[in-house]
Amino acid sequence: AQTVTQSQPEMSVQEAETVTLSCTYDTSENNYYLFWYKQPPSRQMILVIRQEAYKQQNATENRFSVNFQKAAKSFSLKISDSQLGDTAMYFCAFMAGNQFYFGTGTSLTVIP
């Protein structure tokens, strides 16, 4: 069975600081994809960043980067220079075959 675990239900960070959200997953698959999604309050879920499991290099998208540790099955998201607009629920997700599996989410609040 595939599982995704986000152990931090809520986090907060001061504006302009850096924060890291944790995610671990469990799978017996060898080929899979990992994602972080952002859901702002009352707004649509959007993709933040993706990582292919076969790539060793960590993905980066502007202020967002991941630390992908395949052996440890860990996929954390680092947000640098946090902005007020980063306040949202963040979901870690894993895809294998044709199915996606989501974690329970981390609610991030950026404090001005």
Q: Considering beta carbons, is residue 7 or 112 the nearer one to another protein?
A: 7
Amino acid at 58: N
Give dist(CA 95, CA 90) in Å, integer. 16
Binding site residues, another protein, CB under 8 A: 4, 6, 9, 33, 35, 37, 43-47, 50, 91, 93, 95, 98-105
Beta bridge partners, 60, equal 65
Q: Considering beta carbons, is residue 37 or 68 the nearer one to another protein?
A: 37
Residue whose token pair is 């199915």: 99
Q: CB 36 → another protein: shortest distance, Å? A: 12
Q: Which DSSP letter does residue 59 get?
A: P
Q: CB 72 → another protein: shortest distance, Å? A: 21
